[in-house]
């Protein structure tokens, strides 16, 4: 090789040194920032992929935060509903304690009524003050809106969930078959115009959905008086005695026992424990004890649930209480006594008598974002749990009627009070179950899914964009060696030109 004084070697070494310095600078940035990609030139394709992953990860993290907040909100609602449920159980205990009025003084009943008043006031206070972030939860502010409800036919409508459709949903109700109360014939009249009285002492056990009571019928009671004696125990049994409209006609029921509520859950049975014979008006035993017109034991007989379709779909029914769920819509309501039992409205056709309808609006309720897209929104309805809005189902009174002076207070209608509070307990339990179901299966599953997505996206973004410190450290060591080597060789190259002078 010829000896020259050109700086080719120096230039080459400087270029190598510059590239090594640039690589060392990139490695230093990776080590100090913890990011493998600090600029577009580091990895253009990787930067595009990383940008998409980071955007998706940010959306997932935001949705996760939203769902965790939703879970906290529903937990507040659940605890408040649980407290309302506890108060209703206390009210039920007080009502049941007051149903046996024979061994209670008037002051004791008044004390129980006072406690019920306090419990009802506490329920209304809890309902009005339960809020989250300044928003009331169970006072009806988050109720799903409805329109066109015929209150003469549909009562107690509660919409628990609706779809995310932007259009209203009209529900057409058809009563296919009427609900019926349980009914049995306790005594059959055999002789037209006969006036019967009890012969000796008769004891009967009357059983209904509220419980069993033993009724003692002393000698000489007329059928009207027998009816009144049975009805004195209605508070304990939920069974109402009545004389048929054609009483004392041959072959018809003279005394009927009927449940106070509708449906298969309502039942009536009666057992003659002793006696059971009836006398003619002359005072003689009518055909002897055990004759066809004597009191008779009758096995348990249940009522019949209403058969209702909505938009052609079969619904769930419990007496007059109807539940419906389809296409993201979930609700329940109660048929009025007349409509549910098939009472004919004058001036209407048979089809009109069986039909009703209402509209669920595409508004109202509490709507939450479950995932990262608009299609993952879900809405739950939270109707008011105030005392005026509880009870009323299956022909019962509203819970507010249990207050002093109400139509179902302890002095007026203990049986009605017990039916009402049990209906309210069922409604509150249903509401709490709906909230719990939404919290577990909607919010809980969304949180679990988002957490899994967060883990996966974080791992993917980390593998793509984060610095591998082991590799970067090894690269830094290599670059330092190369830098030192290049600098040393640059000195050798510079000395080469100076050594040529020694040849002169």
**What band does 183 get if pLDDT is binned at 50, 70 and 90?**
very high
**What band does 249 get if pLDDT is binned at 50, 70 and 90?**
very low
pLDDT of residue 102: 66
Mean pLDDT of 49-76: 92
Domain boundaries, the chain: 35-136+366-466, 181-302
CA dihedral over 150, 398, 125, 160, signed as positive or negative: negative
pLDDT of residue 285: 57
Percent above pLDDT 70 for the chain: 91
With contact defined as beta carbons under 8 Å apart, do 478 and 485 qualify? no
Neighbouring residues of 397: CB distance < 8 A, sequence distance ≥ 6: 391, 406, 407, 408, 413, 416, 417, 419, 420
pLDDT of residue 289: 47
Q: Which residues pair with 285 in a beta bridge?
A: 279
> Which two tokens mark 125?
């206070």
Mean pLDDT of 77-92: 96
- Residues 110-142 have pLDDT tens digits of 999 999 999 999 999 999 999 999 999 999 999
CATH number of 35-136+366-466: 1.20.1330.10
Average pLDDT, the chain: 87
pLDDT of residue 248: 44
Mean pLDDT of 299-304: 95
State the Cα–Cα distance between residues 342 and 262, nearest whole angstrom.
Answer: 12
pTM, rounded to two decimals: 0.77
- Residues 231-240 have pLDDT tens digits of 988 888 989 9
| Level-2 CATH architecture, domain 181-302 | Sandwich (2.60)
pLDDT of residue 272: 93
> Which two tokens mark 334?
């109660």
pLDDT of residue 287: 47
Would the pLDDT of 497 be above 90?
no
Q: Please indicate whether the domains covering 35-136+366-466 and 181-302 agree at the CATH topology level.
A: no
Helix (H), strand (E) at residue 387: none
State the Cα–Cα distance between residues 457 and 478, nearest whole angstrom.
Answer: 32
């Amino acid at each position: 090789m010829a000896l020259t004084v050109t700086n080719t070697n120096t230039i080459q070494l400087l270029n190598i040194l510059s590239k090594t310095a640039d690589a060392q600078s990139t490695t230093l940035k990776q080590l100090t920032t913890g990011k493998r990609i600090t600029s577009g030139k580091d990895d253009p394709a990787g930067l595009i992929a990383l940008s998409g992953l980071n955007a998706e990860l940010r959306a997932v993290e935001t949705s996760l935060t939203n769902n965790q907040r939703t879970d906290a909100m529903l937990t507040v609602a659940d605890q408040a509903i649980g407290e309302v449920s506890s108060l209703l159980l206390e009210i039920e205990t007080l009502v049941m304690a007051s149903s046996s009025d024979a061994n209670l003084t008037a002051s004791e009943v008044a004390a129980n009524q006072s406690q019920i008043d306090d419990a009802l006031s506490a329920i209304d206070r809890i309902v009005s003050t339960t809020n989250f972030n300044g928003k009331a939860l169970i006072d009806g502010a988050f109720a799903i809106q409805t329109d066109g409800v015929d209150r003469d036919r549909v009562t107690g409508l509660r919409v628990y969930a609706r779809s995310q459709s932007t259009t209203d949903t009209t529900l057409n109700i058809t009563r296919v078959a009427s609900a019926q109360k349980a009914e049995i014939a306790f005594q059959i009249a055999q002789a037209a115009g006969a006036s019967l009285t009890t012969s000796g002492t008769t004891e009967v056990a009357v059983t209904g959905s509220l419980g069993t009571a033993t009724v003692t019928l002393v000698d000489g009671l007329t059928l009207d008086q027998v009816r009144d004696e049975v009805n004195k125990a209605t508070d304990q049994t939920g069974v109402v005695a009545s004389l048929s409209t054609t009483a004392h006609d041959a072959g018809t029921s003279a005394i009927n026992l009927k449940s106070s509520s509708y449906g298969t859950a309502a039942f009536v049975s009666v057992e003659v424990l002793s006696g059971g014979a009836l006398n003619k008006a002359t005072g003689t035993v009518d055909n002897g004890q055990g004759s066809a017109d004597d009191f008779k034991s009758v096995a348990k007989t249940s009522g019949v649930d209403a058969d209702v379709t909505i938009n052609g779909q079969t619904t769930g029914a419990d007496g007059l209480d109807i539940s419906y769920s389809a296409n993201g819509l979930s609700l329940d309501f109660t048929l009025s006594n007349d409509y549910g039992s098939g009472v004919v409205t004058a001036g209407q056709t048979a089809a009109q008598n069986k039909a009703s309808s209402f509209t669920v609006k595409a508004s109202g309720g509490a709507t939450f974002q479950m995932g990262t897209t608009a299609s993952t929104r879900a809405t739950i309805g939270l109707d008011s749990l105030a005392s005026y809005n509880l009870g009323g189902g299956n022909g019962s009174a509203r819970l507010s009627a249990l207050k002093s002076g109400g139509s179902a207070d302890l002095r007026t209608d203990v049986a009605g009070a017990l039916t009402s509070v049990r209906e309210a307990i069922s409604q509150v339990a249903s509401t709490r179950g709906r909230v719990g179901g939404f919290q577990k299966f909607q919010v809980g599953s969304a949180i679990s899914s988002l957490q899994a997505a967060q883990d996966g996206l974080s791992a993917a973004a980390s593998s793509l964009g984060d610095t591998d410190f082991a590799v970067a450290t090894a690269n830094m060591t290599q670059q330092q060696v190369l830098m030192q080597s290049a600098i040393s060789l640059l000195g050798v190259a510079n000395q080469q030109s100076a050594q040529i002078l020694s040849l002169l």
